[in-house]
Structure 1
Amino acid sequence: MKPDRSAPDSPDGSVDPGRRRMNALLLSMAVMAAHGGAGAQPVAPSFEVIDFDWFDPARARAVPVRLYWPARTVGGTPVPLVVFSHGIGGSRQGYSYLGRHWSTHGVASLHVQHVGSDAALWRGNPFGVVGRLQSAAREHEAIARAADVRFALDGMLSDRTGERGAAVDRRRIVAAGHSYGANTTLLAVGAQVVRNGQAIVCLDARFTSAIVISAPPFYGEPDLASVLRPVSVPTLHVTATDDMIEIPGYRSGVEDRLAIFDAIAHPHKLLAVFRGGSHSMFTDRPNTGGRALNAEVKRATADLALAFLDLVFEGDGAALTQWRASWQPILARPLAAADVDRPKHQKMARVAAGPSSS
């Protein structure tokens, strides 16, 4: 995978359409130059990007999505699908490096925009940003985000996406997200909180695994084990030693990411902890955490997700073994010994060691 060269125009790292068109023009010019000029045959893209502006009438809530779809699909071959939830202040345009990479490798990626906690938070009076962020982080929005994910998956599997919905492999649907979106992901795969004696359940049983990037704690819940005990699908967790969320009145560091990993009782879970970095380097922003490390972590995270899915869905640990050999230098410490080549349906082990690993 080539280094991500996107230049963000908003806090979630999205790129405006004009710049995207210019990048596409420059890329096509480079391809033509490399192949002998205007007479060369154009190179077919390996994925397509489609935006859908859906609306949920039951909740009177817009649910915009962006779909990265593999362009070279073998006729009749079911396509795995990732449903991705952005962090607070993000949008469907963000995390494009993941959508591009995964769809290039045959895995579709549906990026959901949550209108109650999206990029609109950054607009308006700058002195009100903190208040808007705090409002967006309340439980009612967390529940609404999980409903967005369910609604988006319903739409993806319907005829609203043409023939693509029928092509999705129902056995290989993955929930994924970063930061606030990681919390949304965990809710979608079974995490529960209890309020006034009632469990708030957002489980969508169609998800068969989850990718959890930089998950914050659940609203100060003192018993994470109870919150996460219902999670019963394999999970991949990704963080970094300098993965810090800090706004006035709120702080969350890597210890919270490790606590969430440790609290999940399901034995099929993996953890990768990169050395250094930042919380926002997992977005499209190109410089946070250091320019060189930022690009490496993006490639490593995108590749690790595919290796994880190979292990979960195919029982094939070869890609994970290769990933460990390739990316160990940027991990917080050498990877722990892991039995990644076990036969299909056997337990996965912790394959990456962070500061609190045994």
Structure 2
Amino acid sequence: MPMATTAGVATDVVGTAPAPVVSVKPVTLEAPGRGEELRVRVSAPTTGDELPVVLLSHGFGSSLDGYGPLADFWAAHGLVVVQPTHLDSRTVGLAPDDPRTPDIWRIRVDDLRRALDQLDTVEAAVPGLGGRLDRSRVAVAGHSYGAQTAGSLLGQRVLDPAGAPGDDLSDPRIRAGVLLAAAGAGGADLSPFAAEHFPFMNPDFTTMTTPALVVAGDKDDSPLSVRGPEWFTDPYHLSPGPKSLLTLFGGEHSLGGIAGHEIRETTDEHPGRLALLQRVTLAYLRHALGVGDADWTAVRRALAESDAPLGRIESK
């Protein structure tokens, strides 16, 4: 029987029915020297054992309350999702002249590492989750600013003004990543505004060796770059394999609405595009974490065979 399709992707690539999800927030983690408590949201299925963990880093200004369309979907299909609130969140209200501001990009990376270091606390905070985590299967994901944060844990470095790579912030506990609308190369590719205000936006992808899925919208024309939407494909093209790239046709920076349903900053709300993104990212995470390859094979085949796909997947 042929697979039913919607938006150019199979609807039944997810092998199991969604489970009920329980979310707990805020879970407070120790963060000495940060100046603020680290608050995270934990979402987990109510059933299943040996559950992989995904750290999900939000975009600029968001919080642990964002990205429900991804966090809820992943959790319903067998992943435990941990979402920190970073210092740039509007809910924190950090003053622009706060001395921590220039270092927020690094503090963000530390936030994810702290969450991983304190998985015992994370696990204990969710009723019924005890003993059900698979700590050998951990991935990191992020959108926009959060994608740069996630990329650092995958091996991406920041070049200094002389072009020398900065510290290696990668973490060997991370087995895979999903980078959603991640910024591309720095230097001459940045707009004057970005070059002046965001010196950390000068990535070196050649050291980003951990497997990852890069997601880019072909209509995501950012004011941070002079190159246009293809700038967001740099993390795929400039990094070593194994990597995959999902290009969403018609996708802008919100990639169909990943930040939430009917969220004000979403300019390209599209249920079909969002459904495609949900299924592809879940299938990739299951594949990259060694849970199973069937969904990843099915979703790639469905897109390749569709008469009107909403996206394209390529791999290296």
1:118 equivalent in alignment to 2:84 = no
Contact 1:277 1:289 in 2 (8 A): no
In 2, the alpha carbon distance for the partners of 1:320 and 1:81 equals: 18
Q: Tell whether the 8 Å contact from 2:225 to 2:231 is kept in structure 1 after alignment.
A: no
C-alpha separation in 1, matches of 2:310 and 2:203? 30
User: Partner residue of 1:343?
Assistant: none
Structure whose alpha-carbon radius of gyration is higher: 1
User: TM-score, normalised on structure 1?
Assistant: 0.67
Q: Deviations over 1:241-299 (max 9, x none)?
A: 112333xx76674222112210111x2111111111220233214374544xx212222
Aligned residue for 2:193? none
Match of 1:309? 285
Letter in 1 for 2:144: S
Q: How does 1:1-358 map to 2 (within 5 A)?
A: 46-51=20-25, 52-73=27-48, 77-115=49-87, 117-120=88-91, 132=96, 140-155=103-118, 157-162=119-124, 164=129, 166-195=131-160, 199-217=166-184, 219-220=186-187, 227-246=204-223, 253-265=228-240, 267-280=241-254, 281-286=257-262, 288-291=266-269, 294-314=270-290, 316-327=292-303, 328=306, 329-332=308-311, 349-350=315-316
Which amino acid counterpart does residue 324 of structure 1 have in structure 2? Answer: R
- Calculate percent identity across the aligned residue pairs: 23
CA distance in structure 2 between the aligned counterparts of 1:144 and 1:273, rounded to whole angstroms = 30
Q: Which has the higher helix share?
A: 1
The 3 A distance-change label for structure 1 pair 324 and 194 is: closer
AA at the equivalent of 2:21: F
**Greater displacement, 227-236 / 52-61:** 52-61
* TM-fit CA distance, 1:199: 2.3
Unpaired stretches in structure 1, ≥5 consecutive residues: 4-43, 125-130, 337-348, 351-358
Distance 1:83 1:335, change over 3 A: closer
Return the offset for 1:92: 0.4
- Residue 246 of structure 2 aligns to a residue whose secondary structure is strand
Please report how far the alpha carbon of residue 198 of structure 1 lies from its aligned counterpart in structure 2 after TM superposition: 6.8
Q: Structure 1 58/245 Cα, relative in aligned 2: closer, same or farther at 3 Å? A: same
Q: Secondary structure at the match of 1:260?
A: helix
Question: Is the 2:141–2:177 contact (alpha carbons within 8 Å) kept by the matching residues of 1?
Answer: yes
Give the number of the structure with larger relative contact order, counting CA–CA contacts within 8 Å between residues 6 or more apart.
2
Instruction: Specify the SS of the correspondent of 2:146.
Output: helix
